[in-house]
Amino acid sequence: MLTQLLRGSLEETGQTEEEFAPQLSLLGRFGQPIEIAQASLWLASDQSSYVTGTTIHADAGYTSR
């Protein structure tokens, strides 16, 4: 997820988002905080009422590698 901490780390190592994101994300970009919030809100809503005993990975495929 693209946070201030990640931005600082990229600056320190001299890498850009475009260079580093594909190493972590099958989508080739960093996630935005709102995308994590949307997944959390969905889980807390009635729309997910039939979902039990599973893990939702909001990580752009990182755990699928």
Interacting residues of 26 by C-beta distance below 8 A, sequence separation 6+ = 60, 61, 62, 64, 65
Confidence (pLDDT) at 1: 83
Confidence (pLDDT) at 51: 94
Map out the domains of the chain as residue ranges: 4-48
Nearest in space to 47 (alpha carbons), one of 38, 35, 55: 38
Confidence (pLDDT) at 2: 84
Confidence (pLDDT) at 20: 93
pLDDT (tens digit, 9 = 90+) per residue, 7-64?
Answer: 999 999 999 999 999 988 999 999 999 999 999 999 999 999 999 999 999 999 989 8
